[in-house]
Structures are given as C-alpha cells and as structure tokens.
Amino acid sequence: MARNEKEESIQIGFREAITLIVPYFQKKVWNQIKSVIWIVLYLSLFQLIILRIPVKEAGIIALGISAVVFGLTFFLEGLFLGLMPLGEALGLRLPQKLGVFSIMIFSILMGIGATLAEPAITILKASGSKVAPWDAPLLYYLLNDGSGSLYLAIALGVGVSVVFGMLRFLYGFSLSKLLIPSILILLFVSIYAQFDENLQFISGLAWDSGAVTTGPVTVPLVVALGIGISKVSEKNEQSSAYGVVTLASLFPILAVFIVGIYFSGKLPKPMSEEEFFKTGIHLKESKLLLGEKLKNSLESKKIPNAQISPPLKFQSINDKILEAFQLAIRAILPLTLFLILVLYLILKEKIPYPEEVRLGILFSVIGLSIFNFGVIFGLNKLGDQVGGKLPSTFRSIELTDSTKYIPNFNPKTVLKAVNEDGKEESFFYLKERKLYTGIPYHEENWNAKSKVYEYIPIHGPIFGKEDNLLGYMIVLFFAFFLGYSATLAEPALSALGNAVEETTVGTFRKSFLIQAVAIGVGFGTLIGMLKILIELPIVWILIPIYISLLILNSISKSEFIEIAWDSAGVTTGPITVPLVIAMGLGIGNQLGTVDGFGILACASAFPILSVLVMGLIVENSRKLSLNEMETKSK
C-alpha cells in the first residue's frame, strides 16, 4: 500500500504538468517582455512621431522581436538548468583534484567555448554587410571572410581573462593590479592604431568587442566557476567575487588589435570606390578580400535592381532560420561536451542532476536558435531603420528602403517646373491608387534597356535648415534616453544591485547603483553618438575617460572599484547590444561614416565613472555619519 501511495505521489499527468509549467514560463516570459517592450516601443514611437516615418516591414520586425523574447526565455532557462550547474560543479572539484596549471588550461578553454556560445557574437557578423571594402579593407575583412579569425581572437582574449579571474579567486589579489597595466597597454595600442590607415577603423570594433563578450553565457558560467573555486579557496575574500566580468571585457580588446595588426600588412589601404573597382586593383593588392561577400558586391554592380523579385525574401527567411539553428548547435554543443568530458574523464565525477542538465541543454539550443532568428529579423532591422533615419532631424536623407521601381516608364511624360531660385527642374506624376504624386526626374535613374525608373524618396531636415543645431540636439537627447531606459530594463543590473546592497550591508543601496549605472550608460551612449556625428576618433574619447578612472581608482575603496568595473559588463545585455550596434552602423552609413562602431565602448566606460563617483559620495557620507555618532557619544 505504501509503495502504491509512493508511486501515485510521483506520477503527474500531462494536464497537471502543463498546469504547473505554464505559470512558471509565463513569469519568465513576462520578465523578458519587460526588458524588451519599453526600448522597442521607444524606438518605434520615436520613428513614427518624431521622425515621421513609418516602420518598414513592421510585421517581420514584430515577429523577430517576439522570437527574441521567447528565445531568450528558453535560452536563459536552459543556461540555469544545464550549463551553470556544470560550471559550479567543476569549480568545486577543480582545485581539489588539479593543480594551478591545469586549472588555467581549463579556464582558457572554457572561456573560448563560452564566448563562441554568446548570442551577441553573431551580431558582429551581421554587421559586416554595412561596411564598404574600399573605405576600410581591414574592418571589412574582419567582419566578413575573416570573421573566424576575429571570433577566435575575441574568444582567446576571454579565455586569458578567465585564467586571471580564476587566479584572483584562488589567491585573492586586488583587481587594480590587473586593471592599471591592462588599461595603459590598451590606450597605448589605441594611440598606435590611430596612426595606421587600416588599424584606425577597427578601434571602435575592438573596444565594442569587450562589451559583446560579457553576455548571458560567459558571465554566469565564469561566476559559477568562480563561486565553486571560492568555496574551497582559503585566500579568497568576499569582494573578490566581483571584478572577473571586467577582465572578460578588457582582454578581448587587445586580442582584436593584435589580429588586426597581423592582417593589416596583408590588406590594401583604404581607397575610393572608383579606384577599388578599377580592373584588377583589389586582385593585385590582396587575395584576402576575394570572399563570397565581395564577389556578391561586385556582381551587384552588374545586376539591375529591377530584377530583384519578392520570392528571394522568403528564400532568405528559410536560409536564416537554418543558419540560426546551425549557429546555436555550433555554439552550445561543443561547450557542453567539453564541460561534461572534463567532469567525467578528468575529475571522475558524475553530472549533477543529469535529467535537468539534458533538459537545460535542449532548452539552450532551442532558445538560442529562436533568439538568433529574432535578432536578424527584429532587433537588427529596427535598430538599422531608426539609425538610418536619425540624421533626417538635421539634414536631407535618402530613404533607400522606400525605393520605388517604376516599370515601363516613358520619358515623354516628364514635365518642367521652376524652383524658388528660378531654376528649371524636371518631374512627372505617379498615380498610386487614386492619388497623383509629383516625382522628381533625374536622367541617371532611368534605365533605357529595362525601361525602369528608380526613385529614392528624400526626407528631412525635419527641424529647420540643413545641419541645424536643434536636429543634432534631438539626436543626442534620443541617444541619452535610449541608453538610460535600456539600462533600467536590464535584469542583470537589478541582480547586481541586490548583491551589492547585501555586500555593503546597505550602505550602497540598490537604487543608488541602478541610477548611477543608468545615467552613466545614457551619457556614454550620447558621447558615442556624438563620436559618429562628428567623426571623432574613439581613442580621443577613451583616453581622458580611462585616465580619469585610474585616478578615481587610486582614491576609491577596493569594494567600490570592483563593483564599478563589473557594472559596465551587466549594462550590455543581449537586447542592448544588437540594437545599439545596428543603430550606430545605420546612422554611420547614412552620414557616410566609415566606422559606425564605438557607442557600446562609451556606454561601457561612463557607468564605471558614475559608480566610482557615487561610491566616493557614499563613503564620504558614511564617514560623516560615523563622525556625528562619535561626537554625540562624547
């Protein structure tokens, strides 16, 4: 009887299981919706109301953003059930059974695997199509046919940083001993790159790569591994649990510069588009640029736009779905197999909760596949659209995504008009449904062979004359509020705030940290946008800010230093990264800026400054309170 009761107590029917699971997933999905909905609404409404331009392909973008929400929900749940228990189990057992050298080898391999599994790493590849090979050959190569070398360099950088992070967990030395030399080296390399025609265009990419690496895979795995090691390390201090995220964002920057220096001498220097397409010039100077994407760009010069047909879009969606699934498999399975093999073969341990781990791995693959698809068709498209339209606040821009191809066009329908300056201009009327619209006529847009006229609408400037100050101010205000609101929506920041409030025994309140970080990110996003608008080299922004950070480090307490530097990592989540990168490249393309990277780098640097300043204020307030208490007691 007892046996039957036991069997009945563990048997759950399908309907009961669904009843238990659905509310749980509803809560998880709602958490992701809250982190996405406000920033998506903000971008969409800004484009509709301020820029006065409808959102193109709104249905596909909505589908993509829904995929991001559900994909991220499944992925993070899979990470919690599958990969994080493996990481913590390894962290507990490694110091007990292996020496320091073996732990270092494991750490670097795990860092590489975690980085390649990061959802945001695919964003860099998607951004490669926004770069012209003649403007920045090295940047183009690293984002296209050389993307494998770029990913490996970033992954190696994270791997090395994990090694130093684990050494901190084992020996408990201060973060400043690594920060100061690392930052000085990075600033020196950035200055060196500024004087090289090719390297100067990868500076923004290099510094942005540091923000891309600190995502939902790397951070939890590294922290889980570190927590495991810290539990068995006698030299570890409580505060040393912070700081490892910072290292994971610094070393990849140097790695990208190193791989850039390696390929720089093998690639041609920047040149004009006309010079690039002269017979054989790119063939003679570099075979590295002869990849599929360059061949496609060459072919596109020969194929009339009118020959592009709608069925290609559906084919593209099918291809992207398959590509998203393949990327997820390649990202999750190698990392999982590596962790399991180390646990089984080297440490001779069993997998903790194997059923949950298997379910977690399945969730991770499914979630990352859906997320990758959503980024391509949702966040990337929306960010690119808004970024491409932003300059319309202060200048006239071409709405290339609204290009019309008018078949069977007859030049005899062209009429003449006189503008305000008394000059003649050509135009014709286009009837769409029951409306007649005047369309400007430019002879170069008329293809006599295909009898197709190509019309690209012009929009702006919305707020006054060309290059008006009000338009620029609106763009900068938009950037600040984007960074501020996106940071408030990041779940990782709330979790960090709770941990910091507990660690500092309430002296550094959660609300203080969240506001300090959000304001820092908002101001950093503003400065990054300004960098693109005025084409300011990023090195001249980063030098003063990082020198200021080093000065503040010297007068701040170690607990606040580690909290501040880690806060930069949690601000660049899987939602913010694709939107900001796509937006930066979109506005850069519209303005003709070669390097649209750098916004993430600024958005990561300024919150460190704001948190360090807030830490000094909190510490000063604490000292004043103690002095008052001592005075009263006397």
User: Mind listing the pLDDT tens digit for each residue in 309-359?
Assistant: 334 344 467 777 787 787 788 778 888 888 888 888 888 888 777 888 888
pLDDT at 66 over 70: yes
Which pLDDT value is given to residue 258? 94
Confidence class for position 530, pLDDT limits 50, 70, 90 = very high
- Cβ-Cβ contacts under 8 Å for 42 (sequence gap 6 or more): 481, 482, 485
Cα 88 from Cα 93, distance rounded (Å): 9
The better pLDDT of the pair 204, 319 is held by 204
CB-based burial of residue 115 (10 Å sphere; 0-12 exposed, 13-18 middle, 19+ buried)?
buried
Q: Where are the alpha helices (DSSP H) in 214-351?
A: 218-232, 244-264, 273-276, 281-285, 292-300, 311-341
pLDDT at 470: 92
**Cis bond leading into 95, ω under 30°?**
no
Q: Angle of helix 354-374 relative to helix 58-78, nearest 10 degrees?
A: 160
Q: Which residue has the higher pLDDT, 445 or 8?
A: 445
Poorest-pLDDT segment among 4-18, 148-162, 216-230: 4-18
Of 76-90, 412-426, 514-528, the range with the lowest mean pLDDT is 76-90
User: Taking residues 162-181, what's their average pLDDT?
Assistant: 78
- Contact criterion met (CB below 8 Å) for 293 and 129: yes
pLDDT of residue 306: 35
89-93, 135-139, 378-382, 569-573, range with the lowest pLDDT: 569-573
C-alpha closest to that of 432 among 464, 451, 404: 404
**pLDDT number for residue 304:** 39
Residue 163: phi, psi to the nearest 5?
A: -60, -50
| 307 vs 265 pLDDT, higher one | 265
Confidence of residue 474 (pLDDT cuts 50, 70, 90): very high
On whether the CB atoms of residues 476 and 526 are closer than 8 A, the answer is yes
Residue 634 banded pLDDT, cuts 50, 70, 90: low
Across the range 469-497, mean pLDDT stands at 82
pLDDT in tens, 337-350: 888 888 888 888 88
CA gap 610, 519 in Å, rounded: 7
3-class SS letters over 225-259: HHHHHHHHCCCCCHHHHCCHHHHHHHHHHHHHHHH
Assess contact for 397 and 460: CB atoms under 8 A: yes
Provide, rounded to the nearest whole percent, the portion of the chain with pLDDT above 90.
12
Three-class HEC string of 443-510:
HHHEECCCCEEEECCEECCCCCCCCCHHHHHHHHHHHHHHHHHHHHCCHHHHHHHHHHHHHCCCCCCH
Phi-psi region of 613 (alpha: psi -120 to 50; beta: other; left: phi over 0): alpha
At residue 478 the predicted structure's pLDDT band, cuts being 50, 70 and 90, is very high
Q: Looking at residue 523, what is its pLDDT?
A: 93
Average pLDDT over residues 54-66: 87
- Nearest to 128, CA basis, from 618, 597, 501: 597
As a whole number of angstroms, the distance between CA 152 and CA 113 comes to 10
Confidence of residue 480 (pLDDT cuts 50, 70, 90): very high
pLDDT score at 231: 62
Residue 295 has pLDDT above 60, yes or no: no
Residues in the chain: 634
**pLDDT per residue over 207-230, tens digit each?**
988 877 777 677 767 766 666 666
Query: Is 281's pLDDT higher than 70?
Result: no
Q: What pLDDT is stored for residue 476 in this prediction?
A: 93
Mean pLDDT of the chain: 79
Query: What is the per-residue pLDDT for 282?
Result: 47
Query: What's the pLDDT score for residue 1?
Result: 44
Q: Is 350 left (phi over 0), alpha (psi -120 to 50) or beta?
A: beta
The domains of the chain are located at 14-301+316-393+467-626, 404-455
Q: Residue 126: pLDDT band by 50, 70, 90 thresholds?
A: low
Cβ-contact 559, 239 below 8 angstroms: yes
The whole-number pLDDT of residue 473 equals: 94
Q: How confident is the model at residue 18 (pLDDT cuts 50, 70, 90)?
A: low
Confidence label for 233 from pLDDT (cuts 50, 70 and 90) = low
User: How many Å apart are CA 557 and CA 294, to the nearest integer?
Assistant: 52
Q: What does the alpha-carbon distance between residue 524 and residue 480 come to, in Å, rounded to a whole number?
A: 8
- The pLDDT assigned to 420 comes to 80
Query: Does residue 158 carry a pLDDT above 50?
Result: yes
Model pLDDT for residues 387-404, shown as the tens digit of each residue:
889 999 998 888 887 888
CA 154 to chain centre: 14
Beta strands in 550-616 (DSSP E): none
pLDDT of 583 higher than 70? yes
The β-bridge partners of 436 are 431
